[in-house]
C-alpha cells in the first residue's frame, strides 16, 4: 500500500501565536521568613529583643533570593517589625514581599507580565499555554487575559492542537 501526499502541519498554518507564561518565571531560590520564630512565648514581639536579632542575624544567607515575610501564628506584630526585615533584606534579596510563598509567586509573575512587551501580540490569535513543569499562578492567567484582550484578535487556552476559546474580537461591520 502506497501513502501519497505530504504531512500537513495544520497548527503551523493556523497563524496562532503560542505564549507560555512559564517563560516569565524568574529563576532563583524562594524563601519564607516566618516572624513567629522571633515572638516571645509565641505571642508577642519584644522590640528590644527583635532589634538585637536584626543586628546579629546572618542576612547574607538571603543573597539573591526571593523572600516572603509573614507571621504564621495568630499574634499582633507591629508593622515596623516587617519594615525592619524588609530593610535588612533589601540589600541582599532579589525581592521581598509580605505574604506567603504563593503571594511571592503572584507578585513575581505580576511584575514580569507588567514588563512584557505586548505589541508583538497585537492583532494576533494567541494561545496561552496551560500546563508545564513550572506552576503558574491562576492570577497570571487572569492578568495576561486582562492585558491581552484589548489588543489581540483572540485568546485561546491550552495547546495549539487542543485549545479552549477564551475571547474573540467582534469584527466591525
Q: pTM for the complete prediction?
A: 0.83
Any bridge partners for residue 67, and if so which? 31, 96
Residue 171's pLDDT is: 78
d(CA 124, CA 122): 5
Other beta carbons within 10 Å of 14: 13
Residue 61's pLDDT is: 96
d(CA 122, CA 150): 9
Residue 159's pLDDT is: 83
**What SS3 state is found at 170?**
coil
Where are the alpha helices (H) located in 115-161, listed in sequence order?
138-148
**Nearest CA among 31, 167, 7, 19 for reference residue 99:** 31
Residue 22's pLDDT is: 94
Residue 132's pLDDT is: 80
Using left for φ > 0, alpha for ψ between -120 and 50, and beta otherwise, residue 99 falls in: left
* Per-residue confidence in pLDDT tens, the chain, 173 aa: 555 555 444 444 458 999 999 999 999 999 999 999 999 988 899 999 999 999 999 999 999 999 999 999 999 899 999 999 999 999 999 999 999 999 999 999 999 999 999 999 999 999 999 888 889 999 999 999 999 999 999 999 998 788 999 999 987 66
pLDDT in tens, 85-123: 999 999 999 999 999 999 999 999 999 999 999 999 999
Q: Which residue has the cell 520564630?
A: 37
Q: What rounded mean pLDDT belongs to the chain?
A: 90
Residue 172's pLDDT is: 65
Amino acid at each position: 500500500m502506497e501513502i501519497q501526499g505530504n504531512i500537513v502541519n495544520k497548527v503551523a498554518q493556523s497563524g496562532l501565536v503560542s505564549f507560555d507564561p512559564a517563560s516569565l518565571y524568574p529563576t532563583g531560590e524562594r524563601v519564607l521568613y516566618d516572624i513567629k520564630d522571633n515572638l516571645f512565648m509565641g505571642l508577642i514581639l519584644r522590640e528590644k529583643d527583635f532589634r538585637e536579632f536584626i543586628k546579629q542575624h546572618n542576612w547574607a544567607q538571603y543573597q539573591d533570593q526571593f523572600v516572603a515575610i509573614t507571621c504564621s501564628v495568630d499574634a499582633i506584630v507591629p508593622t515596623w517589625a516587617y519594615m525592619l526585615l524588609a530593610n535588612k533584606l533589601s540589600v541582599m534579596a532579589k525581592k521581598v514581599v509580605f505574604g506567603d510563598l504563593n503571594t511571592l509567586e503572584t507578585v513575581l509573575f505580576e511584575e514580569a507580565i507588567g514588563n512584557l512587551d505586548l505589541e508583538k501580540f497585537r492583532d494576533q490569535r494567541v494561545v496561552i499555554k496551560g500546563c508545564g513543569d513550572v506552576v503558574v499562578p491562576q492570577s497570571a492567567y487572569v492578568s495576561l487575559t486582562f492585558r491581552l484582550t484589548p489588543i489581540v484578535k483572540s485568546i485561546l487556552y491550552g495547546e495549539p492542537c487542543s485549545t479552549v476559546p477564551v475571547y474573540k474580537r467582534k469584527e466591525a461591520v
